[in-house]
């Protein structure tokens, strides 16, 4: 259904159809009786928008259904700025966020004063590597929030977004000479593969969202299969066909690779069965991995812990947490290892030289 919806939205973004086709494309057309004369059509459009709003507020897999509802209203009036923006936001939160660009461009033209539209447009342009245009859109949004800061900190991150776009410009103007080779099959599949860990002995561990996930269920948040950890080994014929990790690591919810000890016999994994996500350790016992054990409370907190790496000398554990008291949404912390007590000491924030008002993620030491 999503592809049909995207095709229809692309056609609408090119000029619309049906209602008000003769109207100027830059004119914002409200949903009211003065602009939609057919009372039945107006009633149907408003009902479709309400349904779309309800679905969009749930997020996750409901974004696709929200787009389908909004499309019913767009069939009646494709020239409403707020409606185009709502569809664009749903697309930004879906599997193909770059496809939101035509809708957000249209929304910004129809109503340049629409709240947040220039930030959203800038983000869509950024996702399409249209760096200079994205910077211009972000700067226009910056002028607005200088007068009235947005209550949602996401929309106040203009400076960071502009820096990202400038970095994109620099990298495209001076590309590095490097070759990136896809590892190919059988490791890669139509599903997502990420979080690869190598043990130096020909063993590859990674996270994937595949139909054979343990429990066989979809995550309603993103309409993808729940994460599992997979294993592949290198041999004379190349990489073996990946299999779910042997042992007790994979459960019915998300289980993901985080880090691996130097000897390849202890793995840190992420599980989201509680607190929004915690870190666990599992050990190789024979040819299988043990039941994951949660890391101690100095590491895991009521907030989310998503990434960790132990220093090469074993003295420190660096990890990412969204706990209270940080500088941003997620910060990097570290715990010292007490060799006498064989336990981790109190966690400390790495401070403002490392952590920022933004999210720090994916720590690696």
Separation of alpha carbons 15 and 117, rounded Å: 19
Q: What is the pLDDT of residues 70-115, one digit of tens each?
A: 999 999 999 999 999 999 999 999 889 999 999 999 999 999 999 9
Name the nearest CA neighbour of 263 among 244, 283, 288, 243: 283
Kindly indicate the confidence band of residue 25, based on its pLDDT and cuts at 50, 70 and 90: low
Residue pair 72/44 in contact (Cβ under 8 Å)? The answer is: yes
- Tell me which of 281 and 178 has the higher pLDDT: 281
**Would the pLDDT of 345 be above 50?**
yes
Token representation of residue 144: 């607005």
Token representation of residue 7: 């095709």
Kindly indicate the confidence band of residue 10, based on its pLDDT and cuts at 50, 70 and 90: low
Contacts of 336 (CB under 8 A, 6+ apart): 315, 316, 344, 345
Kindly indicate the confidence band of residue 5, based on its pLDDT and cuts at 50, 70 and 90: low
Kindly indicate the confidence band of residue 12, based on its pLDDT and cuts at 50, 70 and 90: very low
Question: HSE on the CB side for 293, CA within 13 Å?
Answer: 9
The secondary structure of residue 106, as a DSSP letter, is: H
Residue with tokens 């990202």: 164
Give me the pLDDT at residue 22, please.
Answer: 36
The secondary structure of residue 291, as a DSSP letter, is: P
Angle at 223 between CA 220 and CA 227, to 5 degrees: 85
Separation of alpha carbons 20 and 146, rounded Å: 36
Q: What is the pLDDT of residues 146-183, one digit of tens each?
A: 988 889 888 988 999 999 999 999 999 998 888 999 99
**Would the pLDDT of 6 be above 70?**
no
Residue pair 77/35 in contact (Cβ under 8 Å)? The answer is: yes
Residue pair 279/258 in contact (Cβ under 8 Å)? The answer is: yes
Mean pLDDT of the region 28-37: 95
Choice among 194-198, 227-231, 274-278, 281-285 with the minimum mean pLDDT: 274-278
- Tell me which of 61 and 2 has the higher pLDDT: 61
Domains of the chain: 2-171 (1.25.40.10)
Separation of alpha carbons 190 and 161, rounded Å: 31
Give me the pLDDT at residue 276, please.
Answer: 83
What are 288's strand-pairing partners? 285
What are 188's strand-pairing partners? none
Best mean pLDDT range from 23-37, 54-68, 145-159, 308-322: 308-322
């Amino acid at each position: 259904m999503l592809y049909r919806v995207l095709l229809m939205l692309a056609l609408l973004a090119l000029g619309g159809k049906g209602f008000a086709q003769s109207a100027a494309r830059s004119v914002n057309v409200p949903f009211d009786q003065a602009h939609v004369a057919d009372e039945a059509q107006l009633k149907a459009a408003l009902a479709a928008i309400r349904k779309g709003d309800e679905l969009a507020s749930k997020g996750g897999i409901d974004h696709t259904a929200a787009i389908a509802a909004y499309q019913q209203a767009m069939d009646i009036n494709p020239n409403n700025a707020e409606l185009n923006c709502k569809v664009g936001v749903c697309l930004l939160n879906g599997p193909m966020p770059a496809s939101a660009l035509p809708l957000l461009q249209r929304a910004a033209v129809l109503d340049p004063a629409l709240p947040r539209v220039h930030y959203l447009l800038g983000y869509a342009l950024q996702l399409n590597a249209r760096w200079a245009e994205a910077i211009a859109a972000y700067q226009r949004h910056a002028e607005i929030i200088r007068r009235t800061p947005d209550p949602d900190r996401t929309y106040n991150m203009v400076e960071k977004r502009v820096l990202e776009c400038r970095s994109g410009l620099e990298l495209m103007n001076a590309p590095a000479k490097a070759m990136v080779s896809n590892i190919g099959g059988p490791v890669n599949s139509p599903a997502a593969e990420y979080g690869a860990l190598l043990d130096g002995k020909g063993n590859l561990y990674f996270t994937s969202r595949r139909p054979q996930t343990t429990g066989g269920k979809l995550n309603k948040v993103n309409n993808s299969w729940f994460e599992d950890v997979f294993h592949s080994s290198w041999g004379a014929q190349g990489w073996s066909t990946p299999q779910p990790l042997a042992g007790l690591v994979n459960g019915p919810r998300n289980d993901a690779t985080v880090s691996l000890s130097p000897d390849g016999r202890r793995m840190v994994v992420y599980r989201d069965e509680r607190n929004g996500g915690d870190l666990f350790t599992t050990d190789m016992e024979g040819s299988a991995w043990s039941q994951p054990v949660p890391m101690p409370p100095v590491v895991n907190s009521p907030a989310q812990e998503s990434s960790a790496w132990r220093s090469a000398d074993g003295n420190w554990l660096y990890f990412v947490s969204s706990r209270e008291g940080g500088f941003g949404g997620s910060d990097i912390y570290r715990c010292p290892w007490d060799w006498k007590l064989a336990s981790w000491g109190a966690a400390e924030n790495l401070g403002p030289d490392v952590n920022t008002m933004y999210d720090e993620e994916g720590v690696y030491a």
